Amino acid sequence: MTIKLYELCGVDETNLFSPHCWKIRLSLAHKGLSHETIPVPFSKVATLEGGSKRKVPVLRDGDEVIEESYEIALFLDRKYPERPSLFDGDGARAMTQFVISWSQTQLHPVIARMCLMDIYNRLAPVDQEHFRITREKLFGMTLEKFSTEMAATPADLKKTLFPLDNMLGRQAFIGGESPLFADYVVFGALQWLRTVQGEDGLPKDGRVAEWFNILLDMYDGLGRATKAA
């Protein structure tokens, strides 16, 4: 039975931009599993699977429905143990929590500060309303004020990525010689920026750029196939 992946989209259903959904797109490819994408705009997320979900990605595999990207990755390894693992043992699962935490608390805020209005501008009016209400409540200010007064630059991003740049001097991937789920976590964040704003804000040269380009080209260019904005 085909695996279904509910993924966030804007007006253009082929512009899949959610960082968390990208983690799972690459995880499925890593395991050699094909899937059907069901694009979902912000205002429809709460109607998925009978209305029980509030966020995507959500994955349906037969009768099983899983949400939360890390839980989906664990599920895929549990259900398909004969395929390449997304984690290299218990230690890797535990350390991936650090990568998720770093990505969520350091990388995502900088990227949001770079591209908030780019996200807003690619949504349909009904989704713009949802995005404005939820994000203005979260930030405690208007989107316009956030994106001007809190704006971040490519230099801020480069600085935030320094730990990754430094580590890539010693090994090819966060996972070691080949990528693991932890790589897809960080890839998802940069792909988010690429798909909503284009490539200008991304590192252009150096180790992180090289690592990101390798991941964009992996799995028959899955990442690159979604156009940069």
Ligand X SMILES: N[C@@H](CCC(=O)N[C@@H](CS)C(=O)NCC(=O)O)C(=O)O
Return residues touching ligand X (CB under 6 A): 8, 18-20, 42, 45, 55-57, 68-69, 134
Least Cβ distance, residue 145 to ligand X (angstroms) = 19
Rounded CA gap, 146 and 84, in Å? 42
Closer of 20 and 31 to ligand X (Cβ): 20
Q: Quick one: 5 or 216, whose CB is closer to ligand X?
A: 5
List for the chain the helix, strand, coil content (%; round to 5).
60, 10, 30
Give the C-alpha separation, 172 to 169, whole Å: 8
Shortest distance, position 6 Cβ to ligand X, whole Å: 9
Nearer to ligand X, 45 or 124 (CB): 45
Q: Which residues on neighbouring strands pair with residue 39, listed in sequence order?
A: 7
- Looking at the Cβ atoms of 142 and 171, the one nearer to ligand X is 142
**Contact call for residues 201 and 114 (beta carbons, < 8 A):** yes
Provide the minimum distance between the beta carbon of 183 and ligand X in the complex, in angstroms, as a whole number: 15
Return the beta strands (E) in the chain as ranges: 3-8, 35-40, 58-61, 64-67
Q: Are 3 and 28 in contact (CB under 8 A)?
A: yes
Q: How far is the CB of 88 from ligand X (least distance, A)?
A: 20
